[in-house]
Structure 1
Amino acid sequence: MNKNSILKLLSLLLALCTVVSMTVTLASCKRDGPSNDTTVDGSGTEPADTEDEGVWEYVRDPSLPDFATMVTLNTSDINSDFDKTGRGLVTVEQYIDGDTVHFWNNSRTEIIKVRFLAIDTPESTGKVEPWGKPASRFTKSKLHSAAEIVLESNEEGEVTMDSTGDRYLAWVWYRPKDGNVWRNLNIEILADGLAMGKSSSSTRYGTVALNALTSARSEKLNLYSGKKDPLFYYGSAVELSIKSLVLNKSAYNATKVRFEGVVTKESGGGIYVQSFDEDTQQYYGVYVYGGYASLAPKFLVPGYKLLLTGTADDNESFGFQVSGLSFSLIDPTDDDTKILEKDVKVAPVVISADELNNNETLENVLVRLENITVTSIYTTQSTTASDGAMTLTCRSADGKTVTVRTVKLTNEDGSDVTEDYFRGKTINCNGIVTFYNGNPQLKLFTLSDCEIISQ
């Protein structure tokens, strides 16, 4: 090969490398910053794509029937409170999963927990199931970008609750920002193959709902495609320590994991679990959601050392947690929760105010703050379970500010604990390190975990 041929070959290779470099750069670029448009969920931003586990891209074929607009919303009385009239404008308070969302009513006096009528999407919070996350993302994307949202009961003027007695059953309507036609989200979810039908034929819009479901099956969309959910982890559980899990959250997001730990506290249908790391000589903790399994209370007991298998999930609504546990008292499988030891004593780690405020690795660990004085108190007043919970702003002995957040506390006689119990007093507190809006706090779960050392 002569000199000119070599030079031409080198030039060709250089050009090819440039193209590859440009392609990689473009593929790794993120979209522009979030929109500043005001949204009905109050955030003013587009839904964050925080999951790293896979890519789910779905665009509905425009040639397919638009079932979501084949029913019509009566808008004559939407400026009402749904919980009182059965129809009304709402705003999103919290996204839960594909068929469950919490809303503020029109007057913002009540939080309405809603289970969507006629549909049943796969789980994406407690027991994580294939196609649960795509359904959850779909629901959030539609409501997040809506100009207005309306809830409607199945029977005119009459609201009904689901079997739990805690959630309203409703049709969810939204009006896109770029249009004036109201869309029925329940039916749209069915039409796009992201849910199974649930008593669909006996509902207000039963005929259209069934037609939407039939179309999704016929077109083999998403759940009915016969393909694997790209956002679901189908592999075997990764065995690791709690330390490895919580220090590498993004790496294990949506991954099935197995680890050992001791239960320190129970809260909200789940448990705080921690284990000691010999290398760093410190505890690491994680929140594990137990769901509604009937056997869960027999296993998720403070003081039990457990072998846990579940799916790690960095959830935008609930934070990082492990869920999707299974339980069996007879012939348990490898993935079932196992009790390794009972009555394990775990002493809280005594920490300083500086450690609480500056050591993020203490999240979900049982700790103790000593000699802190309560300087101000805020009591939550709401229609949720947090009604009566308190935020105590405290000063440590060295003058640092720390925050203690309580659940709704009761005395031995069952009466509610009020601000007078804590006001101006110096206390020692045991609790779990949690974060609220990015700020650390000690979470106090029982009155017995608080010791008053001076009035």
Structure 2
Amino acid sequence: MKSLLKVISAIMIFTLGFTFVFSGEKAEARAGAKFTVKLTKCVDGDTAYFTKVGKSRFLYVDTPESTIQHEAYGKTAANYTCSMLKKAKKIQLQYDGPRKDKYNRTLVWVWVDGKLLQKLLVQKGYVEKFYDYGTYSYESELIKLQKQAQKNRVGLWSKKKASSSNSTTKKPSTSKTSFKNCTELRKVYPNGVPKGHKAYDSKMDRDKDGYACER
């Protein structure tokens, strides 16, 4: 009887321990605690380097290209982001789901002096579209702000008709392998293409990491 009780107790302890670990992993899939970093390099409207995490891709927002391809409002968005980061007294990051993308970039929400930078970019009309690889903590709020920016015709939307742009571009049926810029390439390959792919062009590999037009 005592042996049976010991076995049952051991099973219960193991189960509780497993539940605790699993819950901890699950908690990481939600927006985590903010942590303070410093800017080391600003790349463009949605990418920067920070201490502790290295190259970081801002969660959910996609601003126009501003380096090799000069898309409308690309430089404006980049200048705004870099200005906000450089003058910020305090920069904080926040994880929300997977911490890395397939290009090994850190995925984060970015806070500048207590304000969510992604939210500011959307309000200014500098976010072209959203990339949705999961459910994010501030997703619904950003979608509402995007619709408001479109309605008010600010930034990118100043010369465009208001339309819903919170969905990922769908891949059309085409055999085209040569593209003028990343905007055109992403209509066919939404996440970019690796070196060796028929559509890869080194001119579109802005960070020279062997992947062109990645998000």
Pick the aligned partner of 1:160 from 99, 106, 119. 99
2:155 pairs with 1:208: no
Q: Letter of the aligned partner of 1:202 in structure 2?
A: T
Pick the aligned partner of 1:220 from 136, 150, 153. 153
Runs of 4+ in 1 over 4 A off after TM superposition: none
Alignment partners' CA distance in 2, 1:160 and 1:149? 18
Alignment partners' CA distance in 2, 1:126 and 1:146? 27
Alignment partners' CA distance in 2, 1:130 and 1:199? 22
Please give the per-residue CA displacement for 1:230-255, whole angstroms capped at 9, x wherever unaligned.
xxxxxxxxxxxxxxxxxxxxxxxxxx
Please name the residue that 2:117 is paired with.
185
Alignment partners' CA distance in 2, 1:161 and 1:292? 18
Pick the aligned partner of 1:170 from 93, 96, 108. 108
Tell me by how many angstroms 1:144 deviates. Answer: 1.1
Alignment partners' CA distance in 2, 1:95 and 1:172? 13
Matches within 5 A, 1:50-449: 87-105=34-52, 111-155=53-97, 159-164=98-103, 166-175=104-113, 182-195=114-127, 196-199=129-132, 202-226=135-159, 294-295=197-198
| TM-score under structure 1 length normalisation | 0.28
Relative to total residues, which structure has the larger helix share, 1 or 2?
A: 2
Q: CA 1:174–1:200 in structure 2 vs 1: closer, same or farther (change >3 Å)?
A: farther
Relative to total residues, which structure has the larger strand share, 1 or 2?
A: 1
Larger-Rg structure: 1
Q: CA 1:91–1:168 in structure 2 vs 1: closer, same or farther (change >3 Å)?
A: same
Tell me by how many angstroms 1:86 deviates. Answer: 6.0
Alignment partners' CA distance in 2, 1:193 and 1:292? 30
Q: Letter of the aligned partner of 1:193 in structure 2?
A: G
Tell me by how many angstroms 1:152 deviates. Answer: 0.2
Tell me by how many angstroms 1:198 deviates. Answer: 2.1
Report the secondary structure of 1:130's partner residue. Answer: coil
| TM-score under structure 2 length normalisation | 0.58
CA contact (8 A) 1:99 1:115 kept: yes
Q: CA 1:197–1:104 in structure 2 vs 1: closer, same or farther (change >3 Å)?
A: same
- Give unmatched runs, 5+ long, in structure 2: 1-31, 161-192, 206-215
- Give unmatched runs, 5+ long, in structure 1: 1-84, 106-110, 176-181, 228-290, 301-322, 326-455
Report the secondary structure of 2:90's partner residue. Answer: strand
Alignment partners' CA distance in 1, 2:134 and 2:101? 17
The total of aligned residue pairs comes to: 141
Q: Letter of the aligned partner of 1:189 in structure 2?
A: L
Identity %: 29
CA contact (8 A) 1:121 1:135 kept: yes
RMSD: 2.9
Q: Letter of the aligned partner of 1:171 in structure 2?
A: W
